[in-house]
Amino acid sequence: MTIKTSAGVTLLIGPAHNVSYGEDAAGIAAAILALKALTYVEVGEVEDAGEIGDEASTADFTALANRRKRKVKGTFDAGSQSVTLGEDPSDAGQAAVKAAVRSDSNFAVQMDYGDGSSDFYLVQVLSFRKQIGTAESIRKASVNLAINSAIYEELAPVTP
């Protein structure tokens, strides 16, 4: 079976990292090597890690002669990652995320899929908001991460 559940996936935050990497093969290799070498702390109690990945904007043109709008791909944007946490004031990873909100730096992030594969990328931590809810609600937090780089994918090792 080639599909998998998300159970066992972990989100980790690293230090401030204001370095840019190329998106060619050499840049991707350099990014993975550098980002893997950083020290990360796991963000605990992640309930939903959201979605990540590039989306192209649309650039368009409409000629007067034929009134037909033509569209082409514009710039790529990896978007923002909305993360839902079970709020844990004693969790070191959640504390690191809260601290990063107050910084203008990019922070390294690792999404570890638990099978030997990981994604590495840089983010601006935009928010850490408490979700209070009702008397029977679990207290949660919403985190918004603005992805500020390509997503650098490290594939799981191939086993024979």
Residue 150's contacts (CB-CB under 8 Å, 6 or more residues apart) are 21, 23, 28, 31, 54, 78, 121
Q: What is the pLDDT of residues 72-100, one digit of tens each?
A: 999 999 999 999 999 999 999 999 999 99
Judging by DSSP bridges, how do beta strands 55-62 and 140-147 pair with one another?
unpaired
pTM of structure: 0.91
* Mean pLDDT, range 44-49, rounded to an integer: 98
Q: Is CATH 4.10.410 the classification given to domain 10-57+72-154?
A: yes
User: Tell me, what's the pLDDT at 35?
Assistant: 98
Domain locations along the chain: 10-57+72-154
Q: How far apart are the first and last CA of the chain?
A: 16
- 159: pLDDT strictly greater than 80: no
| β-pair partners for 56 | 76
